[in-house]
Amino acid sequence: MKILDDILSYREMCDAENVQTLQRGMNFRMNPGYSVILMSQRSNAPYRDKVWDDGITIEYEGHDISKKAFNHHPKMEDQPETLPSGKLAQNGLFINAIKECKENNRLPELIKVYEKIFSGVWSLKGFFDLINYKQIHDGKRSVYRFILRLSDRNENVADNKILEHTRLIPSEVKREVWKRDAGRCTICGDTKNLHFDHDLPFSQGGTSLSAKNVRLLCMKHNLQKSDKIE
């Protein structure tokens, strides 16, 4: 089972969701219990995704109309809520889930979030509650912004342990740690089943905001460390 801040290849991410490919950023009800989004905060990312200063809230930009031809420029058109067929687009499905939650006093839609760190390198940020949305004009067109907050319904990890994860590790910190630790567990040098680990746990006053307190650990050594934390 994948746990928060796991590092995955693209293939491992697809396998975790039992799909051949993940080509869309927004995937409503990819699994019966949750939806999936792919985000990126890299400078060359096609969408303006960001984490708020509170460290637990994501503002995720909705998705563009599909490209129709070589000379078609989706970035010049308003983001759609419906498809030409009249069916809800991914934006519309997420909007509808928010409205149903508010109107019927239901639990928010649960969203599993993966973040692209480098080309071919992804990180599982965890499960988030889809709590709101807004439509804004970015100077060229209308776009949707979806608001997600870290959920208290995050899955249990192996051996029924629950990771403390009350502050998201910023993308720039993850990139710095990945480069510094050369993509290897800092204890055994393994390159598989890696995880971004707080040296001093957040629950004990450790920070997520500095690479000095974050390191790469493999699953084995991450769980061994968890056993020793009281």
Q: Which domains does the chain have, with CATH numbers?
A: 1-155 (2.30.280.10), 164-230 (3.40.1800)
What would the two tokens of residue 22 be? Answer: 């993940």
Give me the pLDDT at residue 184, please: 93
Nearest in space to 222 (alpha carbons), one of 190, 179, 182? 190
The pLDDT tens digits for 9-18 are: 898 899 889 8
The pLDDT tens digits for 80-122 are: 999 999 999 999 999 999 999 999 999 999 999 999 998 889 9
Residue 10's contacts (CB-CB under 8 Å, 6 or more residues apart) are: 22, 120, 122
Task: Considering only residues 11 and 229, tell me which one the structure prediction assigns the higher pLDDT.
Answer: 11
Average pLDDT over residues 166-175: 78
Give me the pLDDT at residue 202, please: 67
Average pLDDT over residues 185-200: 90
Q: What is the C-alpha to C-alpha distance for residues 171 and 110, in angstroms, rounded to an integer?
A: 22
pTM (whole model) above 0.95: no
Q: CA 78, 138, 81: angle at the middle one, nearest 5?
A: 30
With a cut of 50, say whether residue 46 has pLDDT above it: yes
Task: Considering only residues 7 and 35, tell me which one the structure prediction assigns the higher pLDDT.
Answer: 35
Give me the pLDDT at residue 207, please: 81
Helix residue ranges per DSSP H, the chain: 10-16, 90-104, 171-180, 219-228
pLDDT-based confidence at residue 163 (cuts at 50, 70, 90): very low
Nearest in space to 148 (alpha carbons), one of 120, 128, 133? 128
Q: What is the DSSP string of 26-91?
A: EEEEEETTEEEEEEE-STT-SS--EE-TTSSEEEEE--PPPP-STT--GGGSPPPSB-TTSSB-HH
Range in 125-134, 155-164, 220-229 with the lowest mean pLDDT: 155-164
Q: What is the C-alpha to C-alpha distance for residues 144 and 79, in angstroms, rounded to an integer?
A: 7
Q: What is the C-alpha to C-alpha distance for residues 98 and 28, in angstroms, rounded to an integer?
A: 12
pLDDT-based confidence at residue 129 (cuts at 50, 70, 90): very high
Task: Considering only residues 206 and 10, tell me which one the structure prediction assigns the higher pLDDT.
Answer: 10
C-alpha pair distances (Å), 131 with each of 8, 40, 117, 134, 205:
27, 20, 25, 11, 28
